[in-house]
Amino acid sequence: MAAATSSNNLVLRKHQLDRLKNHTGVRLIVVQAPAGFGKTTLLRQYCAWREAQGATVAWLHLEAHYSDPSRFLRLLCEAVAAACPDCAISLPESSSASMQDFLRSVQTVKNGLVVVVDNFEQAAHAGMEAVIAQLVRVMPKGVQLCIGTRVIPSINLPRLQLREQAVVVNVEGLRFRANETAEFFREFRDVSDEEVDRYQTATDGWPAALQCIRLSMRGRTGRARPLPTSGVTPDLIDFLATDVFENLSADFQRVLLEACMPERICPELLEHISDRTDGEACLHEIEHLGLFLTPVDLDRRWFRFHTVFRQVLLTRLRREMSETEVLSHHDRIAGWYAAHGFSEEAIIHYIEADNEEAAARLLNKIINRLVTEERLDLIVRYADRLSPETIQNYEAILNAAVIAYGFRRDFAKANRIIAMRRAILERENAPKEAWGVHNYTRIFTNAAQDRVAEIGATGDKVIEQLEGSEGLEYAVALNARAYWLYLHSRFEEARETVARARALHDEAHNLFGLSYCEWINANVLAAQGRNEDALKALKQAYVHNEECATASVTAGSVIAACLAETLYEKNCIAEAETLLNDHLPLLEQQAIVEPLALAFLTMARIAVLRGEEREAEEVLDRMMYLGHRYNLRRLVTYAKAELVRQATLAGDLDKARSRFAGLGQVDAEGEDELIFHAGETEAQTVTEARLLILSGRHADARALLQPAARKARAQRRMRRFMKLNLLLAISLNVEGQVSSARRALIEALQAG
């Protein structure tokens, strides 16, 4: 890193470097700008300085297939171990790691640790941003996270900046100033100040364009071709990079075209692609000439081309190589990756080589691990590139694709694959075990689409079809059965079924299924008014999940949503808000309706407590948007009911009545055999009864409340009974029926 910083291809970014030197104590540094603005250069210069001060530097360059948080945390742990071998911890054989694994790996680093995550935009999505937010919050003192990215992560940077916990360097800070541009061209003694000013103006200080001009001048003994007049555009960099490329020898051009095909390159891979024997010397020469090649690890074994220059090279490649030659190169790259244990990279290049069969065979070997680790983004990426004809030949891939598409709410694709698989099973007159595995995948899609009645029926089918196997599929079916029993207030049966499922998930080390078990169990306890037991169970499950699972496990976020709501009801507002800030992005990305609704509703209520009514409305607007976008009716219903609640409690009865009218007959759930945790104390009956009470229509309110309370008591839904009876007590008291009000209040308190 220090050697790279001192290269004559670089200019010391003194102004921004001094700024970072003055903020070594902040938790987070974000360097954000479009491609070609020197984000990596600045971070390397800062890290070289930190190393000189005695700090340890761990560097991670992200690629698209690293976008699953579980894989990301594993790579962070490995980067720390590479930078500080004495700090290495024992990790599981899988490709995932947990937040606790990362914290253990950094705790023993002395004299400060800088963890760099470069190229973050390759993995920027809600799940990854949630993990980054958690990292920033829990990192121990002395650990600093630096992110190089084209996009600003959605991690509440303004709040972190106000608390002096973050520093952001943006595009304006990365543009070359006039004095930096002059230094950059100092090697050309015959270039006048006026010409340098012209380059500065034409490029607006864009470092990548200035580097191309300099390289072009070297190839033309001191003068670049006339610049385009269009200013700073993609055409400018294409024009300049093409000029640089054409000034190279034919042999060196060939090396560049072959080296740019994989996202990253090492000497051995280059030699395999090109049949050369001097791969290391070639890469060293490319880097030495300043041709936008940088190392992506501290060992300087793996390199990558800058995205802007790589795109120019790939465009050139398609012009100069035949399609057959390009496909052959991709196949060779895939073969090398596969032989050296890089299965995920190999699959992508087999697909690029139009060798779907080889890609599918290799994917089939690792697909179950990817499902267990919840690497749904990667599964979707593969499934999108494989033809349906190929997918249908591999049952494990087909089932994984259904689950991944379902949880990513791409229901059309999931249902299309389900229909395709059903047709195959019918055509082959498949045995019941095959149907059981097929129906197991339908549990996931039914849950994701909030088809609750179908969840129970499908779970029962799987239990019957897979009786005696008692593997993962059977355990998931038990989860579905337990949830259906809970919704029908059959609590003892639900808990017995949860216990059976828990044992199977434990045996299989399936933390995903186990987390859902604990969530269902907590719902059962809370519905019966056993709030302390529910809180204890949720806390234990959350701690266990944090310790053993990855931060990406959506079921862990499901537990967090339920725990946050329970903490809110216990008036532990700060704890609840922290949980929601950490996990809401994950829930938004792929959770089922119930925990997602809980998270949104709790977040909105916390905002109201802070007096942030506009923020609460924005949260509920987001909730309704997701409901409409994915046709998840309950999200819309609960959001509308919460808006009525807020207006009612604020005393704005006109607004409350207007909003209640907006619920409509279709949206109002009324009394239903299925009672959900997120709606049992609000959307069902309670919303309307509260509005009637505050409108002075007490007889109408009691006409709703009394039969609903009797039914809740008969079902032993004491949480709901308590809420209904509290409202009943309020109504009776306002009308002067003090004794009846006191009796209703005592019954409510006894229930809680």
Measured CA to CA, the distance from residue 150 to residue 299 in angstroms comes to 25
Q: Are residues 84 and 223 in the same domain?
A: no
- Determine the Cα–Cα distance for residues 323 and 401; give it in Å rounded to an integer: 30
Q: Averaged over 316-328, what is the pLDDT? A: 92
Within this chain, do residues 15 and 97 fall inside the same structural domain, yes or no? yes
pLDDT at 43 over 50: yes
* Cβ pair 647, 604 in contact under 8 A: no
**DSSP H or E segment with residue 168:** strand 166-169
Instruction: Provide the pLDDT for residue 366.
Output: 94
Residue 158, pLDDT score: 66
Residues 642-676 have pLDDT tens digits of 999 999 999 999 999 999 988 865 444 433 566 78
- Rounded to whole angstroms, the Cα distance separating 26 from 599 reads 30
Domain boundary among 174, 192, 215: 174
What digits encode the pLDDT tens for the residues 188-204? 877 788 888 888 887 78
Q: Decide if pLDDT at 384 tops 90.
A: yes
**Average pLDDT of the residues in 333-355:** 96
The CA-to-CA distance between both ends of the chain, in Å, stands at 62
Query: What CATH number does the domain containing 122 carry?
Result: 3.40.50.300
Contact 134, 583 (CB under 8 A): no
Would you state the pLDDT for residue 326? Answer: 94
* Mean pLDDT (the chain, rounded): 86
Residue type, 417: I
Q: Which of 204, 231, 246 is the last residue of a domain?
A: 246
Q: Greater confidence, 752 or 570?
A: 570
| Average pLDDT, integer, range 547-556 | 60
Most confident of 237-251, 348-362, 738-752: 348-362
Residue 501 within any structural domain of the chain:
no
What's residue 155's pLDDT? 72
pLDDT single digits (tens) 520-538: 999 999 999 999 999 999 9
Kindly state the DSSP code that residue 289 receives in the 8-state scheme.
T
- Of residues 100 and 409, which shows the higher confidence score? 409
Note whether 78 and 183 are same-domain residues: no
pLDDT tens column, 104-149:
888 878 889 999 999 888 877 777 888 888 888 888 899 999 999 8
Look at residue 222 in the predicted model and tell me its pLDDT: 47
Q: Are 30 and 137 in a shared domain?
A: yes
Among 189, 222, 246, the domain-final residue is 246
Picking from 36-40, 279-283, 290-294, 674-678, which range would have the lowest pLDDT averaged per residue? Answer: 674-678
Residues 56 and 184 in one domain: no
Question: How remote is the C-alpha of 334 from its chain's centroid?
Answer: 27
* 43 and 99 inside one domain: yes
Tallying the residues shown for the chain, one arrives at 752
Could you give the number of structural domains in the chain? Answer: 3
Residue 589 lies in a domain: no
Residue 92 has φ and ψ, to the nearest 5°, of -65, 165
Measured on CA atoms in the order 45, 49, 55, 56, is the torsion positive or negative?
Answer: positive
Q: Beta-carbon neighbour count of residue 535 at 10 Å?
A: 20
CA distance 371 to 406: 13
Is residue 746 in some structural domain? yes
**Three-state SS sequence of 78-131:** HHHHHHCHHHCCCCCCCCCCCHHHHHHHHHCCCCCEEEEEECHHHHCCHHHHHH
- SS3 for 581-620, per residue? HHHHHHHHHHCCHHHHHHHHHHHHHHHHHCCCHHHHHHHH
**pLDDT interval class at 10 (50, 70, 90):** low
- Please say if the pLDDT value at position 229 is more than 70: no
The answer to whether 33 and 42 are in contact (CB under 8 A) is no
User: By the 8 A CB rule, do 500 and 507 touch?
Assistant: no
Statement to judge: residues 90 and 163 lie in one domain? yes
Residues 164, 62, single domain; the answer is yes
Answer whether residue 581 is part of any domain.
no
* 23 and 48 co-located in one domain: yes
Asked if residue 109 and residue 65 are part of one domain, the reply reads: yes
pLDDT bin (cut points 50, 70, 90) of residue 290 is confident
- 549: pLDDT confidence band, cut at 50, 70 and 90? low
The radius of gyration of the chain's CA atoms, rounded to the nearest angstrom, is: 30
Please check whether residues 84 and 10 belong to one and the same domain.
yes
Q: Which domain holds residue 199?
A: 179-246
On whether both 128 and 187 belong to a single domain, the answer is no
Residue 22 lies in a domain: yes
